[in-house]
Amino acid sequence: MDKVYRLNLSGVHNNRGRSALIRALHLRENPYISRMNNSPTLDSATEPTPPNSVLMVPIRSLGENHRDRIAVHLKALDANDRYYRFGYAASDSQIDAYVSALNFARDEIFGIYNRHLRLIAMAHLAFARTPAGVPVVEFGVSVLAKARGRQYGARLFERAVMHARNEGVQVMYVHVLSENTAMLKIARHCGAVFVRDGAESEAHLKLTPATLNTHLTEMVEEHMAQANYLIKRHAKHWRDAVDDLQSPWI
């Protein structure tokens, strides 16, 4: 089942609340995080805007019914990309085991589909708790080779950060191989603090608290992405139907 985001706005009656709603519906909030020190938070007017932040990418939450497509996506990665994603060159059987173990009720999986309904990029946001009971998340991402250069990894990272904030998480971890310069660049640009251990690096990011704007933004973006997916699905069905009608005459 696909996940549905809903937000109760029945208590938003004052002008300030309505203004926040209007801003959220017309502006895409920059979901970048605060630095690890006491620099301004992302809700501060002095926080710099990342380049190309207005680029809209339909990123949707993936449910149980997308499990098979996740497996197809990961198996389409070559040995080097699998090494970057998992820390080792995972075999098809290991990918099947990983996909089978995905917990859609606990974790959050985000994906980007192309017009052929092929999953071209996805991110896994795994939730856990420290021994002290503090909620934390770990981020992992993969993008097919043909879809690179479009900042899909950065956009998935932004969406994951916003969702983690809305869930009350304060720290995000990213385990990445030191040679994975693309992921290192994304995390470093957002103010990550790195700890290097041999061939691996661990980044941790301190997240700012959620706001009304982040909740509204995630809700609007999720509904827009699901609508985009439905349009692509119907268009694909029409293309397939036309191809079926034409095939006997070709």
Please give the Cα distance from 160 to 116 (Å, whole number): 24
The arithmetic mean of pLDDT across residues 193-216, rounded, is 86
pLDDT at 180: 86
Residue-by-residue DSSP string for 225-236: HHHHHHHHHHHH
Does the pLDDT value for residue 26 go beyond 90? no
Does the pLDDT value for residue 223 go beyond 80? yes
Least confident span in 117-131, 188-202, 214-228: 188-202
- Beta-carbon contacts of 216 under 8 Å, excluding residues fewer than 6 positions away, are 7, 20, 21, 24, 25
Residue-by-residue DSSP string for 168-234: T--EEEEEEETT-HHHHHHHHHTTPEEEEETTEEEEEEEPPPP-HHHHHHHHHHHHHHHHHHHHHHH
Tens digits of residue pLDDT in 82-116: 999 998 999 999 999 999 999 999 999 999 999 99
pLDDT at 56: 76
Q: Answer yes or no: pTM beyond 0.75.
A: no
Architecture of the domain defined by 51-249: 3-Layer(aba) Sandwich (3.40)
